[in-house]
Amino acid sequence: MHDALLLTAAFAANVISLGWLALSMEVHWEQVRGTELLPRRTVRTLRWLGAVGLVVALGLCLAVDHASMASLVWFMELAGA
């Protein structure tokens, strides 16, 4: 049960992180916020949050399995996200 919870948290972190990375792009920002300009500081913050979130997701996967299996699970969760 504990492992399933950690893997679910890792998947959620992947989804949220990819959302942040997508929002840091002009095209996706315009789809969400309309014609409002995307400030440079917001771009950096969103990209930083996305990168940190992906590392957190990998760390959660590593907490469940050994490195070779955890990296495979993380990559598959990343593809699913």
Q: Are 15 and 74 in contact (CB under 8 A)?
A: no
pLDDT at 34: 84
C-alpha dihedral (78, 72, 64, 62), degrees to nearest 10: -80
The residue type at 11:
F
In this predicted structure, the answer to whether residue 16 has a pLDDT above a threshold of 80 is yes
In this predicted structure, the answer to whether residue 47 has a pLDDT above a threshold of 90 is yes
Structure tokens at 77: 């969760």
In this predicted structure, the answer to whether residue 1 has a pLDDT above a threshold of 80 is no
pLDDT at 52: 97
Q: Are 17 and 50 in contact (CB under 8 A)?
A: yes
Q: 38: pLDDT confidence band, cut at 50, 70 and 90?
A: confident
Structure tokens at 3: 């492992």
Surface-to-core class of residue 5, CB atoms within 10 Å of its CB (0-12 exposed, 13-18 middle, 19+ buried): exposed
Averaged pLDDT for residues 21-32: 92
